[in-house]
């Protein structure tokens, strides 16, 4: 039986492929799906989503004529889900695959731990067109996650499930960052007393493309990431060593692609 307390929010944009989107949606079981098309999307996607809306596999579908960014799309969907009375809101990217029992595990965890406002889990990165596989693990308990955040994010964004209390305490996604809406969302959560947790199990299989390591760099993005990281350090009052980590990450992000790829695969 479907759990009507869980809404899964997903943004779709021009670079998404219909084939991968179908896999992502087919992996969403026992939940209601909320989707926003952020600007023009690839051929076939709109008609596919319209058909699913008619079949009631998707309970909400919205579209915008121009791309307004991930934070805008997610905030739109969160607001809609909360207005409809959903207590749990989960994230999902349009080219990833949720494991079969992901939502049951997260729902059961939040039902058991009423004090927790958000729960994520491990992810399994994989590639379709080249050899790559990696399981990424994160700290499990709130205090460990807070300490970990001085270096990098303590949650896989695509794996999280929010309790509605998170938005009451921390608000919605900040729209001031180019690419780090999740980093700033966690910052607001820690700042405003939200309690975090992770489940020690792979919850989502994350698809990696050939351009994944290359697009993690560039001066503009690296500088944006660095400024956002400095904001986190200052707002959450981390110690001076956090600035060293931030600088090292900045240097890695502007390094040549082959060096960046090696460091990402071995140190992450």
pLDDT reading at 25 higher than 70: yes
The confidence score (pLDDT) of residue 251 equals 86
pLDDT reading at 243 higher than 80: yes
The one-character DSSP state at 157 is G
The confidence score (pLDDT) of residue 204 equals 98
Q: How many helices (H) and strands (E) does the chain have?
A: 10, 9
The stretch 165-170 carries a mean pLDDT of 98
Q: What pLDDT, in 10s, does the model give residues 131-157?
A: 888 999 999 999 999 999 999 999 999
The stretch 22-27 carries a mean pLDDT of 96
Place of tokens 């949606």: 25
The confidence score (pLDDT) of residue 154 equals 97
Q: What pLDDT, in 10s, does the model give residues 76-115?
A: 999 999 999 999 999 999 999 999 999 999 999 999 999 9
pLDDT reading at 166 higher than 60: yes
In this structure, how many other beta carbons lie within 10 angstroms of the beta carbon of residue 68? 17
CA–CA separation, 167 and 86 (whole Å): 12
Q: Is 1 helix (H, G, I), strand (E, B) or coil?
A: coil
Q: Give percent above pLDDT 90 in the chain.
A: 77
pLDDT reading at 1 higher than 50: no
Contact 59, 32 (CB under 8 A): yes
CA–CA separation, 64 and 203 (whole Å): 30
pTM for the whole thing?
A: 0.91
pLDDT reading at 196 higher than 90: yes
Class of domain 6-210: alpha beta
Q: Residue 211 — pLDDT band, cuts 50, 70, 90?
A: low
Contact 265, 134 (CB under 8 A): yes
3-state secondary structure 10-74: EEECCCCCHHHHHHHHHCCCCCEEEEEEECCCCCCHHHHHHHHHHCCCEEEEEEECCCCCHHHHH
Task: Give me the residue spans of the domains in the chain.
Answer: 6-210, 212-268
| Tokens at 179, concatenated | 């690419």
Contact 60, 80 (CB under 8 A): yes
Beta strands 58-64 and 118-127 are: unpaired
The confidence score (pLDDT) of residue 56 equals 80
Q: Residue 213 — pLDDT band, cuts 50, 70, 90?
A: low
Q: Which of the two residues, 69 and 220, has the higher pLDDT score?
A: 69
Q: Give percent above pLDDT 70 in the chain.
A: 91
> Across the chain, where does the E strand assignment appear?
6-12, 32-38, 58-64, 88-91, 97-98, 118-127, 133-136, 161-163, 196-208
The one-character DSSP state at 137 is -
pLDDT reading at 60 higher than 90: yes
| Tokens at 37, concatenated | 């098309």
The confidence score (pLDDT) of residue 149 equals 97
* CA proximity to 198, closest of 159, 237, 169, 235: 159
- Please state, rounded to an integer, the average pLDDT across all residues of the chain: 91
């Amino acid at each position: 039986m479907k759990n009507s307390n869980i809404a899964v929010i997903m943004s779709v944009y021009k670079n998404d492929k219909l084939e991968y989107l179908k896999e992502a949606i087919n992996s969403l079981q026992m939940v209601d799906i909320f989707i926003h098309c952020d600007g023009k999307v690839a051929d076939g996607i709109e008609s596919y989503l319209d058909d699913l809306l008619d079949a009631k596999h998707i309970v909400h579908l919205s579209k915008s004529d121009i791309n307004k960014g991930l934070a805008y799309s997610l905030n739109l969907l969160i607001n809609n889900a909360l207005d409809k009375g959903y207590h749990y809101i989960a994230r999902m990217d349009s080219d990833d695959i949720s494991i079969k029992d992901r939502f049951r595990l997260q729902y059961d965890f939040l039902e058991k731990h009423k004090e927790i406002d958000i729960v994520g889990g491990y992810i399994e990165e994989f590639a379709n067109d080249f050899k790559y596989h990696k399981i990424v693990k994160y700290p499990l308990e709130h205090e460990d996650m807070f300490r970990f955040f001085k270096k990098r994010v303590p949650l896989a964004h695509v794996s999280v499930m929010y309790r509605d209390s998170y938005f009451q305490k921390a608000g919605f996604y900040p729209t001031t960052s180019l690419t780090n809406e999740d980093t700033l969302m966690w910052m607001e959560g820690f700042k405003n007393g939200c309690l975090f947790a992770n489940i020690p199990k792979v919850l989502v299989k994350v698809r990696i493309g050939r351009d994944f390591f290359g697009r993690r760099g560039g001066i503009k993005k690296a500088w944006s990431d660095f400024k956002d990281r400095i904001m986190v350090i200052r707002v959450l009052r981390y110690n001076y060593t956090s600035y060293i980590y931030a600088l090292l990450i900045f240097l890695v992000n502007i390094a040549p692609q082959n060096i960046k790829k090696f460091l990402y695969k071995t140190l992450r």
